[in-house]
């Protein structure tokens, strides 16, 4: 593998939309990846919450191989077994009555926005189209999802955005009530991440989502949960909303659903889903046989043995938090906060974390930085305590160097 050629040709032929690490990856197994020059790394980025079962999980690989040999793509003008199986697994294990498949989290959020507006217009009139989202939220980079995203840095250069989005502080029920009152007669939905991911791994107070549910009910507004990052076992439950016992009306999924294959989904209550009729929304590649076969394999692994893997994710998340809390005691001036749920964990630092990301990579650990100063840890759910010990030891070394 000519590493220099790959990086140079990437710079020549690809648009410059990513701040890439100086690393060419060629292989992955479990929680580890290998570079073109045969260096080994613990992967605690996990494809940004995608590789919930690690790299190349045998059951996902076999499911994809078998499906590729039979049928790769057909139009959604026809039925496929894999798509129906995946829909059934999602519906039987969630609040929802119907599913729609697409290709990504942004597409799922676009579909959710359309569904909420169409439902509101059919049931309450054309003036109900506004959607409240949260400051520091992230819902995607297509225009509807971008407009829903409450972070101006992502908006810059793309204005004007789609009309009809109002941003309120996250985890502030009072601010939400005030905004709902102001938008009375115009509001169709509230759209939130149960835990803000790109916004710095921010977990709400225990009662917040329950209050949001009540506010939406009183206002006649739909509640949309963006579980693109928190769903599919990431928090130790199949879906994060289960931690609070708060059911949304619409939920979006992607990332971990395909175990590495590109798929998104929208789940909705039966009566809400009925707003989508033939021709009102569609996706050429959405819910293709190969990605749905992968999704079925992922869910089967997460649900087998009385949900063993979900329990394991909880246990490993608790173990990891304990280790990180010990680092916080060691480096009180550098580590401001440790927060998260399950295996979605953020470490807020008192300084930018780019150098720490680079230092960890140099020592064989891949981690991610979000919001400028928050290290985000998203290891596969199959991670073991021995892997966590190695990761924490590397973090300890790197942080010690930064604290000098």
Q: Please give the pLDDT value at position 402.
A: 85
pLDDT beyond 80 at 309: yes
Dump pLDDT digits (tens) for 320-356.
999 999 999 999 999 999 999 999 999 999 999 999 9
Listed as own residue / partner, the contacts of 19-24 with beta carbons closer than 8 Å and 24 or more positions apart are 21/357, 21/358, 21/361, 21/366, 23/361
Which 3 state secondary structure label does DSSP give 78?
Answer: coil
Give the torsion sign (CA, 335, 30, 241, 275). positive
What pLDDT is attached to residue 218? 96
CATH number of 3-56+308-403: 3.90.1150.10
Q: Which of 382, 347, 349, 375 is nearest to 361 (CA)?
A: 375
Sheet-wide strand order for 165-168? 98-102, 264-268, 250-253, 222-226, 187-192, 130-134, 165-168
Query: pLDDT for 247-281, tens place per residue?
Result: 999 999 999 999 999 999 999 999 999 999 999 99
Cα–Cα distance measured from residue 254 to residue 297, given in angstroms and rounded to the nearest whole number = 15
Q: Which CATH architecture has domain 58-301?
A: 3-Layer(aba) Sandwich (3.40)
CA distances in angstroms from 392 to 97, 121, 360, listed in the order given: 42, 52, 10
Q: Is the pLDDT of residue 403 over 90?
A: no
Region 276-294 average pLDDT: 97
Query: Can you give the pLDDT at residue 192?
Result: 98
Helix (H) or strand (E) holding 48: helix 46-49
CA–CA gap between residue 134 and residue 149 (Å, rounded): 8
Say whether 32 sits in a helix, a strand or coil: strand
How many percent of the chain have pLDDT more than 70? 100
pLDDT at residue number 184: 85
Instruction: Give me 264's structure tokens.
Output: 């998104």
Q: Residue 2: its pLDDT value, please?
A: 87
> Where does CATH 3.40.640.10 sit in the chain?
58-301
Q: Give the model's pLDDT for residue 3.
A: 87
pLDDT at 1: 78
Dist CA 402 CA 282 (whole Å): 50
Q: Where in the chain are all domains bearing CATH 3.90.1150.10? A: 3-56+308-403
CA torsion sign for 139, 144, 148, 150 is: positive
Q: Which residues are catalytic?
A: 138, 226, 255
Write out pLDDT tens, residues 222-246.
Answer: 999 999 999 999 999 999 999 999 9
What is the rounded distance in angstroms from the CA atom of residue 266 to the CA atom of residue 317? 27
- pLDDT more than 90, % of the chain: 97
Residue 111: per-residue pLDDT: 98
Q: What is the distance between the alpha carbons of residues 64 and 264, in angstroms, rounded to a whole number?
A: 17
Mean pLDDT, residues 31-52 taken together: 97
Q: How far apart are CA 295 and CA 261, in angstroms?
A: 8
pLDDT at residue 397 in the model: 97
Provide mean pLDDT across the span 133-143.
Answer: 98
């Amino acid at each position: 593998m000519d590493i220099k050629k790959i990086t140079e040709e990437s710079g020549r032929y690809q648009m410059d939309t990513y701040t890439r690490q100086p690393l060419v990856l060629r292989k992955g197994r479990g929680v580890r990846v290998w570079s073109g020059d045969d260096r080994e790394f613990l992967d605690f980025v996990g494809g940004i919450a995608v590789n919930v079962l690690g790299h190349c999980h045998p059951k996902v690989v076999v499911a994809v191989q078998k499906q590729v040999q039979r049928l790769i793509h057909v139009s959604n003008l026809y039925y496929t077994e894999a798509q129906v199986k995946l829909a059934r697994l999602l519906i039987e294990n969630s609040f929802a009555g119907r599913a729609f498949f697409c290709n990504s989290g942004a597409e799922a959020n676009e579909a959710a926005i359309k569904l909420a507006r169409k439902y509101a217009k059919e049931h309450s009139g054309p003036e109900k189209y506004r959607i409240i989202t949260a400051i520091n939220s992230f819902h995607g980079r297509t225009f509807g999802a971008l407009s829903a995203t409450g972070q101006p840095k992502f908006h810059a250069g793309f204005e004007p955005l789609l009309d009809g989005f109002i941003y309120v502080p996250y985890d502030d029920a009072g601010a939400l009530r005030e905004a709902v009152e102001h938008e009375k007669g115009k509001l169709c939905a509230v759209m939130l991440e149960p835990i803000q991911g790109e916004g710095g791994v921010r977990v709400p107070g225990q009662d917040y989502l329950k209050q949001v549910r009540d506010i939406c009910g009183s206002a006649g507004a739909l509640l949309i949960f963006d579980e693109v990052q928190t769903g599919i076992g990431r928090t130790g439950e199949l879906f994060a909303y289960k931690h609070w016992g708060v059911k949304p009306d619409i939920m979006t999924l992607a990332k971990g659903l395909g175990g590495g294959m590109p798929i998104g989904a929208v789940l909705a209550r039966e009566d809400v889903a009925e707003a989508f009729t033939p021709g009102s929304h569609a996706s050429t590649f959405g819910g293709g046989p190969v990605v749905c076969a992968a999704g079925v394999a992922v869910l089967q692994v997460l649900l087998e043995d009385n949900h063993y893997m979900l329990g394991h994710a909880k246990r490993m998340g608790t173990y990891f938090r304990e280790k990180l809390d010990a680092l916080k005691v060691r480096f009180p001036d550098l580590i401001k906060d440790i927060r998260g749920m399950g295996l979605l964990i953020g470490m807020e630092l008192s300084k930018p974390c780019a150098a720490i990301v680079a230092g960890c990579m140099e020592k064989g650990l891949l981690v991610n930085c979000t919001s400028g100063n928050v290290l985000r840890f998203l290891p596969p759910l199959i991670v073991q305590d021995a892997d966590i010990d190695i990761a924490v030891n590397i973090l300890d070394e790197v942080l010690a160097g930064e604290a000098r």
